[in-house]
Amino acid sequence: MQETAEQSLRGSCPARTACDAQQVRAGRVPMAQLPRLAAWLPSDQPEAALSYELRFYRDEARALLVAVRVEGVAQLPCARCLVPMTVPLRGESVVQFVHSEAQAEQVADAYEPVMLDADGQVSLLELVEEEAIMALPPVVMHESRCAPAWQESAEPAAEAAPAPRENPFAVLAGLRGDGKVKS
Average pLDDT of the segment spanning 161-168: 70
pLDDT (tens digit per residue) in 122-140 = 999 999 999 999 999 999 9
Contact call for residues 65 and 96 (beta carbons, < 8 A) = yes
* Model confidence pLDDT, tens digit, residues 24-61: 999 999 998 889 988 888 888 888 999 999 999 999 99
Helices (H) and strands (E) in the chain, counts: 5, 8
- How much is the pLDDT for 177? 59
Whether residue 172 is predicted with pLDDT greater than 50 in this model: the reply is yes
% of the chain at pLDDT higher than 90: 50
Cβ atoms of 83 and 146 closer than 8 Å: yes
Output the pLDDT for position 29.
93
Q: Specify the higher pLDDT residue, 89 or 183.
A: 89
The pLDDT mean for the chain works out to 84
**SS3 track for 62-130:** CCEEEEEEEEEEEEEECCCCCCEEEEEEEEEEEEEEECCHHHHHCCCCCCEEEECCCCCEEEHHHHHHH
pLDDT for 147:
77
In this structure, the number of other CB atoms found within 10 A of the CB of residue 168 comes to: 7
Q: Is the pLDDT of residue 82 over 80?
A: yes
The Cα 33–Cα 123 span in angstroms is 14
Residues ≥6 apart with Cβ < 8 Å to 85: 75, 76, 77, 78, 140, 142
